[in-house]
């Protein structure tokens, strides 16, 4: 047991990577439909390049989408809408009909002795006329009713019984008003003007549209439509090698593919299908791991970066599966180009293309016409990567989105011309889907922000924002420690040029250099570059106290960086820019003053750690060289060259770069860059006449 625990502890990272690979494969297998995959690829208008196809079993021929659309339209056209009598409002009016009549009659005729001679006759006539109108029914104004012709019919529900009626069998508000006017004016025994106003105020619509019942009938009518129209018997020839895939043959092949995949999903071959999916998906994900191992080992050794890549692949496959289950034609909405955008922003273009390729190949197993899908998405992904190869502005995301839409549209038009020979059958709805997919790629920006926070990564966009000298923290550095700020700017220029020369990340080095000395803001006058009055506060301190003040700027810088929520990658430059070396100036003075005394050397030592990347190593060299160059009285080519050589060689001999992935060749090239840049900084100017 101890041996097992020891093995697990020693191989934890490798075991974690294997677990991630297996987990990704397992999740993808879970997502995949458990149906057989039709093994033939074909396109409308192209020759059949495979062997002769004979129907292996009986199957029905699927109707085309045009046929189904026509049948659905016809079914809905003949469907009668449902209406229902709603008597609640009528009952409410009737319950107060007599009281309302009396109240309004008395209010109008109280000064005329009540007009008792016509009152009762008017009431009886009003009640009779009201009953006649509501009995026939006043229909509500609804689009379903207004779209009906004179010969059309509706179904009037009364309980569970539906009675067929014509639109003319009901009153509308307008026709009811005309009916009231006509009947009242024809009866001289009643108070006509009073009755017209009273009845118009009290009539209510009591025949209303029933959307729930109508929708139920629509759904039932659509479900009754058969998806097939004829039968192909086992043994019939479907297509022969070399035959042109016409519209009819294409539909035959589509029907066979549909029937085959359904039959395979429920047959005894389920285990074989599952095994095949495991093999193919394992190879796909394993190829990704091999790519990382051989070409991007820095990513391969960081499990969180592998997790990010796998989340993108699995998430996009899952989204494709969801779309396929809901509506196959919506597959063009799938924002596949999100993957290369996000991978490029965090890593590089080569990895972005490879991950994109793996993703679309896996999704290709899910979608119909896999070749067309892979072709379309491959070139859209390439254009996407090229458009953000140098990501410097947020506005590039909008340009990329537009380029994706244009690429989709052009390729789709080309495919349509290849298959149909003309643009007559082009589906303009696909352009809407392409537009939605392109717009959805703009979600990459918030997704990138979330991934930055969750996985602790950093992008070029963030680095550019941080390296802006108007950043509040850098403005504070410029105000409190102007000499340190100028030093940081010079170090940033040196380090950026060196990083570019040796293939490191120039923007990361530059940003780290801008912040590496922010800890000096706490006590700026203790650092020589900020002393402008001739007063040196170190004169009042012992050498070990001075060393502690100097080395503390590393701790102070880390705390200040965390307080201002700088990324860990930038804080690493603060931690490592002095490594574990000593504050040589005060250490040397202490040794000279007390050569025979023992003293605590740890007081003179920086907290470290030593640089552990090529970028942090470059910053250490640039920081030391730039600071030392200011002490040269005669900064000519020879003295500058000797200074650069001696400082970097000493750092090398102290083992400060042992943990960094940097070669002697890189260091040699960096020395040359430093010499050239420093000479250009300290170049001589002509002396102007007095």
Average pLDDT over residues 231-244: 80
- Tell whether 367 and 478 lie within a shared domain: no
- Tell whether 496 and 630 lie within a shared domain: yes
Residue 268 has pLDDT above 80, yes or no: no
Report pLDDT for 140: 81
Residue pair 512/619 in contact (Cβ under 8 Å)? The answer is yes
Residues 175, 217: Cα–Cα separation, whole Å: 30
Q: Is residue 19 part of a domain?
A: no
Residue 22 has pLDDT above 90, yes or no: yes
The CATH number given to whatever domain includes residue 402 is 1.10.1760
- Tell whether 499 and 396 lie within a shared domain: no
Report pLDDT for 264: 62
Residue pair 485/514 in contact (Cβ under 8 Å)? The answer is no
Q: Is residue 214 part of a domain?
A: yes
Report pLDDT for 394: 66
Q: Is residue 174 part of a domain?
A: yes
Please, which pLDDT band fits residue 10 given cuts at 50, 70 and 90? low
Residues 654, 656: Cα–Cα separation, whole Å: 6
Average pLDDT over residues 565-584: 89
Residues 517, 476: Cα–Cα separation, whole Å: 12
Report pLDDT for 6: 67
- Tell whether 444 and 560 lie within a shared domain: no
Mean pLDDT of the chain: 84
- Tell whether 80 and 161 lie within a shared domain: yes
Average pLDDT over residues 605-619: 90
Residue pair 659/613 in contact (Cβ under 8 Å)? The answer is no
- Tell whether 437 and 530 lie within a shared domain: no
Domain hosting 523: range is 460-681
- Tell whether 217 and 175 lie within a shared domain: yes
Q: Is 582 helix (H, G, I), strand (E, B) or coil?
A: strand
Token pair, residue 75, equals 């079914």
Query: For 527-536, what is each residue's pLDDT tens digit?
Result: 888 877 777 7
Average pLDDT over residues 341-348: 89
Q: Which residues lie across from 163 on neighbouring strands?
A: 156
Q: Is 261 exposed, middle or buried (0-12, 13-18, 19+ CB in 10 A)?
A: middle
Q: Is residue 30 part of a domain?
A: no
Residue 262 has pLDDT above 80, yes or no: no
Query: For 355-369, what is each residue's pLDDT tens digit?
Result: 999 999 999 988 877
Residue 267 has pLDDT above 60, yes or no: no
Q: Is residue 256 part of a domain?
A: no
- Tell whether 371 and 406 lie within a shared domain: yes
- Tell whether 441 and 480 lie within a shared domain: no
Question: DSSP of 59-125, one letter per residue?
Answer: EEEEPPHHHHHHHHHHHHHSPPPEEEE--HHHHHHHHTHHHHHHHHHHHHHGGGGGGHHHHHHHHHH
> Which of residues 221, 254, 287 is at a domain's end?
221
Higher per-residue confidence, 141 vs 372:
372
Q: Is residue 50 part of a domain?
A: no
> Which of residues 221, 243, 270 is at a domain's end?
221
Higher per-residue confidence, 616 vs 427:
616
Q: Is residue 282 part of a domain?
A: no
The CATH number given to whatever domain includes residue 603 is 1.10.3210
> Which of residues 221, 239, 259 is at a domain's end?
221
Please, which pLDDT band fits residue 193 given cuts at 50, 70 and 90? confident
- Angle, CA of 582, 583 and 584, to the nearest 5°: 85
Percent of the chain with pLDDT over 70: 91
- Tell whether 469 and 617 lie within a shared domain: yes
Higher per-residue confidence, 191 vs 497:
497
Best mean pLDDT range from 122-136, 325-339, 389-403, 511-525: 511-525
Q: Is residue 557 part of a domain?
A: yes
Residue 678 has pLDDT above 60, yes or no: yes
Query: How many domains would you assign to the chain?
Result: 3
- Tell whether 344 and 487 lie within a shared domain: no
Please, which pLDDT band fits residue 491 given cuts at 50, 70 and 90? very high
Residue 669 has pLDDT above 70, yes or no: yes
Residue 433 has pLDDT above 50, yes or no: yes
Residue 475 has pLDDT above 90, yes or no: yes
Residue 557 has pLDDT above 60, yes or no: yes
- Tell whether 404 and 467 lie within a shared domain: no
Percent of the chain with pLDDT over 90: 28
């Amino acid at each position: 047991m101890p041996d097992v625990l020891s093995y697990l502890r020693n191989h934890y990272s490798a075991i974690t990577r294997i677990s991630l690979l297996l987990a990704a494969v397992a999740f993808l297998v879970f997502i995949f439909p458990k149906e057989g995959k039709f093994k033939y690829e074909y396109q409308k208008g192209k020759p059949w390049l495979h062997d002769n196809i004979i129907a292996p079993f009986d199957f029905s021929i699927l109707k085309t989408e045009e046929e189904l659309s026509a049948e659905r339209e016809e079914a809905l056209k003949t469907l009668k809408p449902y209406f229902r009598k709603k008597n609640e409002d009528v009952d409410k009016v009737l319950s107060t009909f007599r009281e309302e009549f009396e109240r309004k009659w008395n209010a109008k005729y109280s000064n005329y002795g009540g007009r008792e001679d016509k009152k009762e006759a008017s009431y009886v006539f009003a009640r009779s006329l009201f009953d006649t109108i509501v009995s026939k029914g006043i229909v509500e104004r609804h689009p379903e009713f207004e779209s009906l012709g004179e010969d059309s019919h509706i179904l009037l529900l009364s309980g569970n019984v539906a009675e067929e009626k014509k639109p003319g069998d009901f009153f509308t508000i307008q026709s009811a008003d005309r009916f009231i006017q006509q009947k009242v004016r024809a009866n001289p025994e009643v108070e006509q003007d009073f009755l017209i106003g009273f009845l118009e105020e009290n009539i209510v619509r009591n025949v209303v549209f029933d959307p729930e019942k109508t929708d139920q009938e629509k759904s039932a009518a659509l479900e009754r439509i058969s998806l097939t129209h004829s039968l192909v018997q086992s043994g019939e020839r479907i297509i022969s090698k070399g035959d042109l895939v016409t519209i009819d043959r294409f539909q035959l092949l589509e029907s066979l593919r549909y029937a085959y995949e359904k039959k395979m999903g429920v047959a005894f071959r389920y285990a074989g299908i599952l095994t095949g999916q495991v093999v193919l998906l394992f190879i796909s994900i394993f190829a990704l791991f091999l790519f990382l191992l051989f070409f991007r080992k820095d990513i391969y050794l960081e499990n969180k970066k592998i997790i990010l890549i796998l989340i993108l692949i699995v998430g996009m496959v899952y989204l494709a599966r969801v779309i396929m289950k809901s509506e196959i034609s919506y597959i063009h909405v799938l924002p596949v180009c999100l993957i290369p955008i996000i991978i490029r922003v965090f890593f590089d273009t080569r990895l972005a293309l490879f991950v994109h390729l793996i993703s679309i190949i896996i999704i290709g197993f899910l979608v119909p016409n896999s070749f067309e899908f892979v072709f379309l998405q491959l070139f859209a992904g390439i254009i996407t990567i090229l458009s953000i190869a140098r990501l410097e502005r947020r506005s590039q995301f909008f340009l990329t989105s537009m380029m994706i839409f244009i690429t989709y549209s052009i390729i789709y038009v080309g495919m349509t011309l290849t298959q149909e020979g003309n643009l007559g059958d082009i589906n303009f709805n696909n352009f809407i889907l392409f537009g939605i997919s392109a717009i959805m790629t703009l979600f990459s920006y918030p997704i990138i922000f979330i991934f930055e926070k969750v996985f602790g990564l950093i992008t070029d966009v963030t680095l550019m924002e941080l390296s802006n000298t108007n950043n509040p923290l850098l403005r504070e550095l410029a105000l409190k420690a102007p000499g340190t700020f100028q030093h940081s700017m010079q170090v940033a220029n040196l380090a950026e040029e060196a990083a570019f020369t040796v293939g490191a990340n120039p923007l990361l080095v530059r940003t780290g250099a801008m912040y590496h000395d922010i800890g000096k803001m706490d006590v700026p006058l203790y650092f020589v570059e900020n002393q402008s009055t001739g007063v040196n506060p170190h004169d009042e301190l012992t050498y070990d106290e001075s060393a502690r003040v100097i080395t503390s700027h590393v701790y102070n810088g880390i705390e200040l960086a965390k307080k201002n929520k700088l990324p860990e990658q930038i804080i690493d430059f603060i931690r490592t820019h002095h490594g574990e070396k000593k504050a040589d100036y005060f250490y040397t003075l202490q040794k000279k003053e007390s050569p025979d005394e023992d003293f605590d050397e740890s007081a003179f030592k920086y907290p470290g750690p030593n640089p552990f990347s090529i970028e942090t190593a470059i910053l250490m060299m640039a920081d030391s060289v730039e600071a030392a160059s200011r002490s040269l009285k005669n900064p000519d080519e020879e003295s500058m060259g000797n200074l650069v050589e001696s400082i970097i060689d000493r750092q090398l001999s102290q083992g400060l770069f042992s943990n960094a992935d940097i070669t002697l060749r890189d260091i040699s090239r960096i020395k040359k860059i430093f010499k050239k840049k420093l000479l250009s900084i300290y170049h001589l100017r002509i002396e102007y006449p007095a």
